[in-house]
Structure 1
């Protein structure tokens, strides 16, 4: 009986994670045309997600795609990140673990788009 309870609890926690993970549409609605500002990889990080599929941060830019796998960075070693979104708060997830947290700011709030 105990094994069944453990299995049920594990299935329940997996279900809770998948319910909390943002869908492709939720990621698009939250990020495209807006800026993420927060902490990622142990340091401060900000990035504007342009409507043309290009991201811009303080030192670089590149392509991004929002897919069923999350926010993906093709042609880089970054791969894909999933996210949970609560209002304007976003937590990046990589391989089931937190990779950073921050806030979604409206538009190009930090003027990261090149002129």
Structure 2
């Protein structure tokens, strides 16, 4: 966590809740075998983010990505991001999870 002195918001209980949300979103998503565990994803995002707001935004993007993967796995495509947004999201998620993600255009 770069340059953020007051980390009182990042309590063990808070982290457990975030990890549980990531795990819930991850259920049903077909991810590669070498995908990092949810706790490592959360820790990576925490260390990469500079502020609480940036942390929450990255967590939200990760959860959206996992939900999208889960929907795609179950052939339900009720929500679709524009191609440019999917590509941007795929790049960020690849960085966080360590797994590659192919968009439809790739």
Larger Rg: 1
- Larger RCO: Structure 1 or Structure 2 (Cα < 8 Å, ≥ 6 residues apart)? 2
Larger strand proportion of the pair = 1
Larger helix proportion of the pair = 2
TMscore range, shorter length = 0.3 to 0.5
